[in-house]
Amino acid sequence: MQLYSTSYHRASSVEDAGKLLSGADDGKFIAGGQTLIAGLKQRLAQPSDLVDLRHIESLKGIKVEGRRVTIGAAVTHAEVASSAAIRAVCPAVCSLASMIGDPHVRHMGTIGGSVANDDPAADYPSAVLALGATVVTNSREIAADDFFVSLFETALAEDEIITAIRFDAPEKAGYAKFANPASRYAMTGVFVAKGAGGVRVAVTGAGASGVFRHAGLEAALSTNWSPEAVAGVEIDSSELMSDLHCTAEYRANLVRVMAKRAVQAA
């Protein structure tokens, strides 16, 4: 088997990380590495350099001011799950974080890495989209509705670094997912939120093009915020994906079931 060499760099600041990446032939940023390391093992990615963001202090920390929540990009899933400050204003986000992977994944994976990677079965993208969050980078602020483009594709430029995720805690929010029993990835997950701007519902793990908002569920829950309101909503399976785990039709039913459970959790 042919071996590939990769140079490792530990960035001391966001500015340092940018310089290290710009000096590489084909560099990649790495945070927790829960997706990238697997890609390296399978030869799906072969970067010349890895720039580690985990030790940058400015990317760490959780701040809650009133109902405004700011989570540093390098904050781990375990830190979000155990945050009393976040739980006081938006327990659904803590609940979501507690469902990600296993303890090892939760203590290594970061919210910034998950959002930047935009895996179609990841949990955090649904929360970011449903909460109408802002993705803060080293050069700009991007609204969640403009951030997620398609499978593994976001609005980020190649040298752009997520520094934080910011949102205003809604009046009510809930998350439910049907998890793959082996990976704990969402075969279908639904995050619901009701706030000053109305109702937002985001679906992950099911869309053929990645995470998406569901207008029908949003309309139904805007009229009647209850699990029963979801029952009559049509879920178009033609926009969902089929894979070795289940068909698009089965996922359509899961969207409805998980939406009911999310509202109940809220």
Q: How confident is the model over 36-59, as pLDDT tens digits?
A: 888 888 887 889 999 999 999 999
| Residue 73: HSE in the Cβ half-sphere, 13 Å Cα cutoff | 29
Q: Which two tokens stand for residue 158?
A: 């190649």
Q: Which domain holds residue 36?
A: 7-52
**162 and 242, same domain (yes or no):** yes
Percent of the chain surpassing pLDDT 70: 99
Q: Is 140 exposed, middle or buried (0-12, 13-18, 19+ CB in 10 A)?
A: exposed
Domain end position, chosen among 15, 34, 52 = 52
**31 and 88, same domain (yes or no):** no
- Range 140-150 average pLDDT: 98
**28 and 134, same domain (yes or no):** no
* pLDDT tens-digit map of 197-214: 999 999 999 999 999 999
**75 and 32, same domain (yes or no):** no
Residue 233 has pLDDT above 80, yes or no: yes
**90 and 208, same domain (yes or no):** yes
The whole-number pLDDT of residue 107 equals 96
Number of domains in the chain: 2
